[in-house]
Structure formats: structure tokens, C-alpha cells
Amino acid sequence: MAEKQFRTTIGGQALIEGILMRGPEKQCIVVRGPEGLVIKEEELKLIKDKYPILGLPLIRGSVTFLDSMFKGVKALMFSADYFPEEDEAAEPSKFEKWLDQKLGNEKMEKVVITFSVVLAVCFSIGLFMLLPTFLASFVEKVTDSVLARNLVDAILRIAIFMTYMIAVSRMKDIRRTFSYHGAEHKTIFCYEKGLELTVDNVRVQSKHHPRCGTSFLLVVIIVAILVNTVIFALFPVDNVFLRMLIQLLLLPLVVGITYEFNRYVGGHDNPVTNFLAKPGLWMQNFTTFEPDDSMMEVAIEALKRVIPAEKGKDQW
């Protein structure tokens, strides 16, 4: 019999043939490797526990985002180890050998992960924020209207973001990963409804979840548009490169606002919050697909291992 539905803080991430689930106390990676399920559990160590100031509203958004990216990239690398490319069997390069000698495996892994996170953040900022601003600056050759420039900037941001997401979702390997994303959502829904975690119960759940981390990216774009529109309407800046610099300086504030917005919407169930959640749910049409039974089995195994022993400790 199902218990009363609640909202959990447990969240996850799709990996290569696997899923990462993160609970309030630990996280678990489950990968379906060539020889069966591979499971890796870790106790969670949050930086805000060591530095409480980093857990304050608006500040915690950027900290949580970077921490999630770091752990996510590390989990992706772990899952990728079980599905190496054919050319990866070749002898390591001299540079790789030098890094291994100087840093060791553990330190080299941290360097690679940090570089990957920095590269991913720079790519996202450049493609979805700075490029639209640069392209929108050409509107000034036609009109001096700040409103027109901001409007073109906003349209370009959304258009580039949506084009990128749609194009990525059509890639065969990525589509399979997005199916694991759907399995993650369905399993969390099943758990929140108090149903037994079985494939049959998980299968009938929705693949669109209102507290999806992927929706966070769309909301960041929207919040950035609103913040930049207000700032540049009040304090017009003609130089496009100065505008781009100001946007970079405002980014922690944008991420902080987005995090608090998602946190509030995710924790409340009323007509207003349900309406505000719709753009993120719509976005999931491109980032979540229906999983098969084997994917749901992986998600169930990962979720079971991060449910806290103390009931209610993961209450949203």
C-alpha cells in the first residue's frame, strides 16, 4: 500500500550505461558493465559543512552547482572506464606518462576532472551567454534602441540553447543516456509516492520531474535575460565587450537566484509554482526518454542505496 506522497531531496544524474543517485548522506553510482552491475557508494562530504557561509542563500547556488558538476564529471569518468573506445587500448602518450609520474593517478584524476569542469563551464557561458550578446551588438548598426538589442539578445540565447539541446538529443549515444535520465525520474517519482521500488511500479511513472537538474540550465538562461535586461536598461553600456564582462560578474548572482527559485518551486505545490515549473518540464521533452527495464533496474538499485536510514531525513 502506498504511503502519503512527499518530496525528496534525493536527485540523480544519467551516466554512460548507468546512474548516479545522491542522497542527504551518500551517493551511489550504478553502471551496467559488460559483466553485470558495478556499484560504487561514497559518503557525501559537503563543503558548506566545513564553511557554513557557503550554505547561505544566493551564495549556495554557485557552490552547489560547481560541486554537482565536479562530482558528476567524476562519475561520468567512472562509468566511461567500463566502455573504453577501441583506440584507447593504444600506448599512453609521453605527456600522459609524464603527468602520471609527476602527479600520480589520484592527483592526475583531480586535474583532469577540474579541467573538464572548467572547460564545460567556459563552453556553456561562451555559447549561451557571451555569443548571443556579441551577435546582438550588430543590431546597433540598425537602431540605437537598447530594448531592441536586449530583445535580439534574449531571442538568440533561447534559440541557440534550444538548437543545441535538440541537436544533442538526436545523437544515438546521447539518446540512450537520456533514457537513463528518464529512468532516474521515474524511480524518484515511484519512491516519492511511497510505492514499492519495482520495475512494474516505476514503469508507469512520468519521465518528466519538476525538480530535474537539467531544467536548471533553462531557468539560468531566463533569469540571465531578466537580470541583464534590468541592469542594462538602468545603466546602459555601449561597449559590447564591457557588457560581456559585466555579465560574467553577474553570473554568480544569476546562478544564486536560479537555485533559490528552483528550490522554492520544487518545495511547493500550488497553481503558481506549477505554472512556473512548466518551462522546465517542457524542456525535458528533449533531455528525457522512455527507459527499458534494464535501465529502471539500475535506477532502482542506485536509489535504494542512498535512502537514509532515518525516515524523513530526505524530506524536501
What pLDDT digit, counting tens, does each position of 229-268 carry?
A: 999 888 889 899 999 999 999 999 999 999 998 888 877 7
Contact 22, 12 (CB under 8 A): yes
| Residue-by-residue pLDDT tens, the chain, 316 positions | 445 568 899 999 999 999 999 999 999 999 998 888 999 999 988 777 788 888 888 899 899 888 888 888 889 888 888 876 554 455 555 545 545 555 555 666 677 778 888 888 899 999 999 999 999 999 989 998 888 999 999 999 999 999 998 999 888 888 999 999 999 999 999 999 999 999 999 999 999 988 887 778 888 999 999 999 999 888 889 899 999 999 999 999 999 999 998 888 877 778 888 888 888 888 899 999 999 999 999 999 999 999 998 988 888 7
315: DSSP letter:
B
- Coil, strand or helix at 171: coil
Cα separations in angstroms, 87 against 32, 34, 84, 183, 230: 22, 18, 8, 31, 51
Contact 3, 308 (CB under 8 A): no
**Cα–Cα distance measured from residue 294 to residue 95, given in angstroms and rounded to the nearest whole number:** 39
Phi, psi (5° rounding) for residue 113? -65, -45
**Cα–Cα distance measured from residue 205 to residue 296, given in angstroms and rounded to the nearest whole number:** 11
Q: Where are the domains of the chain?
A: 11-304
> What's the gap between Cα 183 and its chain centre?
16
**Cα–Cα distance measured from residue 116 to residue 113, given in angstroms and rounded to the nearest whole number:** 5
- Coil, strand or helix at 26: strand
Element (H, E) at 172: helix 172-192
**Cα–Cα distance measured from residue 90 to residue 108, given in angstroms and rounded to the nearest whole number:** 19
Element (H, E) at 257: helix 240-267
Contact 283, 169 (CB under 8 A): no
Which of these, 174, 156, 173, lies nearest to 165 by C-alpha position?
Answer: 174
- Side by side, the strands of the sheet bearing 26-33 are 11-15, 18-22, 26-33, 36-43
Q: Please state, as a whole number, how many other Cβ atoms lie within 10 Å of the Cβ of residue 49.
A: 10
As a whole number of angstroms, the longest Cα–Cα distance in the chain is: 66
